[in-house]
Amino acid sequence: MKNIIHETEYLAYVYLKGFGFADEQIIPLVELGKKNLSEALTNLKDILNKDTYSIKELDDALHALKGLLLQLGNTQLAEELNAIRLELNNPKTVTSIETLLFNDTKI
């Protein structure tokens, strides 16, 4: 999770800088983005840790996360999440999500 937040922070900064915004405008926005991202990821993790959860619940959480990532310029991860959303019935999906979002051991 930390890796994702860190990566998105960097991408968001570059993304917004590309539009010519000043640091004073970007930095607080990126901090807010990190906070929202952390909340969205925690929410998703909580759902995955539940004994039972509905596909809709999971889908909504992924959707929200995807939208946020897109807004913050992390298009690649958003697209990967979207691909996972197409296979929510697959039992391996949970593993894919965990590997993609919560594996902080990879560099």
Partner 1 sequence: MRTKLCIEDKQIIIKRIRRTFKIDDIEAEQFYNEMEESLFNKNKNFFYSVKYNMHFQKDTYFSEKVLQFAITTFSFLLKKEIYHSEEKKIKNFFQEYLKIILVEPSTYAKEIERRRDNVQNILQHVSEQLNQSLDVQQLMIANISHEMRTSLNTISGYIALIDEKNTLDTENKGYLEKANHAAHTLESLVSDILDVSKINSGQMEIKEESFWLDEMIEKAIDNITFILNKKNLTFKTDIEFFSQKIIGDYQHIMEIIINLLSNAIKYTDIGFVHLKVTNLEETDNTIKILFEIKDSGIGMTPKQLKKIFNPFSRFEKERQGVGLGLHIASKLASKMGGEITVESTADKGSTFRFTIKVKQDKQNNIDMSNFILCFLNNTKETKVSQQKLDFLKQFNAKVTCFKDEKTFINYLTSSKNDTPHIISILSYQNAYDRFNALIHYLKTLDKFKKSYFIAEGINPKSTLNYFDKVYERFTPITTYIQILDTIKKSNKNTISSNIKALNILAVDDIETNLEILKLFITNKYPHVTLDLATGGYEAIGMYKTQNYDMILMDLKMPGLSGFQTLEKLKNIKNPPASYALTADVYKSTYDQVIEAGFIDLLEKPLQLDILFATIEKAIDEKYNS
Query: Smallest distance, Å, CB 3 to partner 1?
Result: 16
C-alpha distances out from residue 102 to 17, 22, 82, 85, 88, Å: 27, 32, 16, 16, 17
Q: How far is the CB of 71 from partner 1 (least distance, A)?
A: 5
Q: Among residues 36, 33, 46, 44, which one has the least CA distance to residue 101?
A: 44
Nearer to partner 1, 31 or 104 (CB): 31
- Looking at beta carbons only, is 44 or 78 nearer to partner 1? 78
| In the complex, least distance from residue 27 CB atom to partner 1, rounded to whole angstroms | 12
Q: Do residues 69 and 78 lie in contact, with contact meaning Cβ atoms separated by under 8 Å?
A: yes
Cα dihedral 102, 53, 51, 91 in deg (nearest 10): -60
Q: Which residue's CB is nearer to partner 1, number 11 or number 97?
A: 11
Complex with partner 1: residue 72 or 84, whichever CB lies closer: 72
The CB density around residue 23, as the number of other CB atoms within 10 Å, is: 11
The residue ranges that bind partner 1 (CB under 8 A) are: 14, 16-21, 25, 29, 32-33, 35-37, 40, 60, 63-64, 66-68, 70-73, 75, 78
Write down the least CB distance from residue 89 to partner 1, Å: 18
